[in-house]
Chain A
Amino acid sequence: MSKFAKKKDGEVPAVSTASLPDIVFMLLFFFMTVTVMKDSSLKVENSLPSADQIKKLEKKDRVLTIYVGKPTPEYTKVFGTESKIQLNDKFADASDVGPYILMERAKKSEDLQNVLTTSLKVDKGANMGIISDIKQELRKVNALKVNYTTSSGDAFSNMQ
C-alpha cells in the first residue's frame, strides 16, 4: 500500500555508468592538452640534470633537439656503454652534428632559420668531452643558440 513497502530487502541498486563517458573524455582532453606527440623514440638513457635558474623554451617549431647518453640496454651489445649522440632516430658521431643541423635548418621556413635554438638533452652521467665536441660542431655551422635542457629542481642533486 504505502510506497515504501515495495522495496525488497537486500537488493543493491545498480551504479549508474551514464557519466562514465564524460569522465573518460575529461581525462582524454587533459592528456591531449598537456602532452606532445613523440617525434623520435629514445635510444639513449636520458635522465636530465636539474637546475633552478631555468627559462622556458617558447616555441616548439624553433627548437632542434640533440640527445646524448648511454645506449639503452637493448643497444649496449652493438654500441657499447660509452655515451652516444642520438640525432632523430639514429646514433651518430660528433662529426654528424653539423650536417644534421644544416639539414634540419633547411627544412624550416626562411624566417625561422636564423632564430633556431639547439636543445641539448644530455644524460647527467655523460662526460663533458662529448658535449665540448658537439659545441665545437655547432659553432662551425653557426648554430650558436644552445639550451642545456634540464628539469626543474635542486641543482646540487646532480652531484653524487
Chain B
Amino acid sequence: MIDRNEVPKVNAGSMADIAFLLLIFFLVTTSIETDAGISRMLPKLPDKTNKPAVKLERNILRVSINASGELMVDNKVIPITELKSQTIAFLDNGGASQSEEGYCNYCQGQRDAKSSESPQEAVVSLSSDRQTSYGTYITVQNELAAAYNTLRNREAQRLYKIDFTEMEALYKNSETPIASKALWKQRIKKMKNLFPMKLSEAELK
C-alpha cells in the first residue's frame, strides 16, 4: 500500500547537470571586464571668446615624446624613470619670493628662480608624435599623475594625517556615511587647489 501521508521524494540526481549547464552558459556569455583607468578631461574646442592664456616660460614644463618613445623634458633627454622626480621638483619649486603675490608657503622645493613660481601657475605641456606608441604615452601620463598624487598625499598627510588617494577612495565608497562624504569632498577639493592639475596637450600634426 502507498502511504498517503508521506511526501514523495523529488529525484535530485539531475540537479548537478542543470547547474553545470547554467554555469557553462554564464562562462560563455560573460567576461571579466577591466573598468579602471586614468581619467582626464579634454579641453573645450577654442572659440572666439576664450583666448589662449599667455604663460611665462618658467611656469611651463615641456614634456615631449618622440616616435621611438624617447622622452625630452625641458630640452634634455631623460630616462622615463626620472620623469616623476623632475615633475615633482618643478611643481613643488615655489619660486615666487615671500614678498610677491602667489608665494607658496607649503612648497618644499628648491625655490629656483628659473623654475615654476607656484603650483597654481605651473603647467605641464605634453606633446607626442603621431607614431608614438600608446603604451609609452600611458606610462608618461601615469608618471605625471603619480607626481601630482605624491605631492597631494604629502599635503594631506600634513594637514589631515591621511593620504589623498585614500580620501578619494573613501569619498567614492558607497558605505561611507553621507555626512562624512561632505567632509571628504571639501578636503579633496582643498588638496586639488593646493596642487591643481594643469596638463596641456598639443594637437598632433
Contact = CB atoms under 8 A, between A and B. Distances in A.
Given A127-B134, A131-B134, A156-B81, A53 B30 contact: no
B135 A49 contact: yes
Contacts, number: 174
B158 to A, nearest CB: 21
Contact of B36 (A132, A142, A145, A149): A149
A107 B198 CA distance: 33
Given A55-B39, A148-B37, A148-B38, A158 B26 contact: no
Contacts of A124: 133-135, 138
Interface string B9-43: 00010011011101100110111111111111111
Given A24-B23, A144-B42, A49 B30 contact: no
B22 A53 contact: no
Nearest to B128: A128
B130 interface: yes
A53 B145 contact: yes
Nearest to B204: A132
B146 interface: yes
Interface in B90-141: 128-139, 141
Contacts of B43: 139, 144
B143 interface: yes
Interface string A52-94: 1111111010010000100000000000000000000000000
Given A24-B16, A51-B141, A128 B38 contact: no
B23 A28 contact: yes
A13 interface: no
B87 interface: no
Contacts of A159: 69, 80, 135-136, 139
A146 B36 contact: no
B161 interface: no
How extensive is the interface on chain A, given as a class?
35 or more
A51 B142 contact: yes
Contacts of B7: none
B4 interface: no
Nearest to A48: B34
A20 interface: yes
What are the nearest 10 A-B pairs in CB distance? A129-B130, A158-B135, A124-B135, A35-B30, A149-B37, A24-B19, A53-B145, A21-B15, A155-B142, A51-B142
Interface of A: 17, 20-21, 24-25, 27-28, 31-32, 34-38, 48-49, 51-58, 60, 63, 68, 117, 119, 121-129, 131-132, 135-136, 138-140, 142-152, 155-156, 158-160
Given A21-B19, A24-B20, 12 more contacts: A51-B139, A55-B37, A57-B39, A119-B37, A126-B133, A128-B137, A128-B204, A131-B137, A149-B37, A150-B34, A156-B80, A159-B80
Interface of B: 12, 15-16, 18-20, 22-23, 26-27, 29-45, 69, 80-81, 128-139, 141-143, 145-146, 149, 168, 172, 203-204
